[in-house]
A and B are shown apart, each in its own frame.
Chain A
Amino acid sequence: GDSVTQMEGPVTLSEEAFLTINCTYTATGYPSLFWYVQYPGEGLQLLLKATKADDKGSNKGFEATYRKETTSFHLEKGSVQVSDSAVYFCALVLNDYKLSFGAGTTVTVRA
């Protein structure tokens, strides 16, 4: 079935470091791809999304490009802050509204 595999954590970084979280997907068609973020004690919220190949989603300094050739949607940020500490989830939607989530990657940024 359709699924998402993302990099296992936890990931610990210093402020201003470069962050990459890898995400690859398996799907029978052409899904829409999402990154959701969960800050401590909160629900999930959409960080960015891309709906077709070569689209780039961006928000709050984060970027991810939909790569059909490698079936990937890696999340990147050039200079992280302490406030970026959170759990990040990669997800896909194919022909319906049902999101399939990765296991989540916990990111901790230290001052």
Chain B
Amino acid sequence: TAGITQAPTSQILAAGRSMTLRCTQDMRHNAMYWYRQDLGLGLRLIHYSNTAGTTGKGEVPDGYSVSRANTDDFPLTLASAVPSQTSVYFCASSDAAGISTDTQYFGPGTRLTVL
């Protein structure tokens, strides 16, 4: 079982350009999440989705958008990238949204550099 896949693995992007980070899970999990990981700050939640068709803002949503057209896919879009969005981005999923004990499963990450 693949679990969660992310693409691309890494990317260098010019400031002002747009980009979509892809995330696909094959576990039929209801909830999906996007985090960014920055040194000394741990992981911070960007956006989340409780179930297909719904999304919500996390701790650091500005400059990012998401959609959840189906259960498996949860793309993250940067409409106009800025250097402060240089980070490692992780997608995650969990089985049942709203249950605080539920485990989240993480993808391998996308390393994005904005120049």
Residue positions of A touching B, CB distance < 8 A: 31-32, 34, 36, 41-46, 49, 51, 89, 93-99, 101-104
Contact = CB atoms under 8 A, between A and B. Distances in A.
Interface residues of B, number: 28
B100 interface: yes
Contacts of A98: 33, 45, 48, 58
Interface of B: 4, 31, 33, 40-45, 48, 50, 58, 90, 92, 94, 97-109
A96 B101 contact: no
A97 B90 contact: no
A46 B94 CA distance: 12
B108 A97 contact: no
Contacts of B94: 97
Contacts of A99: 33, 43, 45, 104
B42 A102 contact: yes
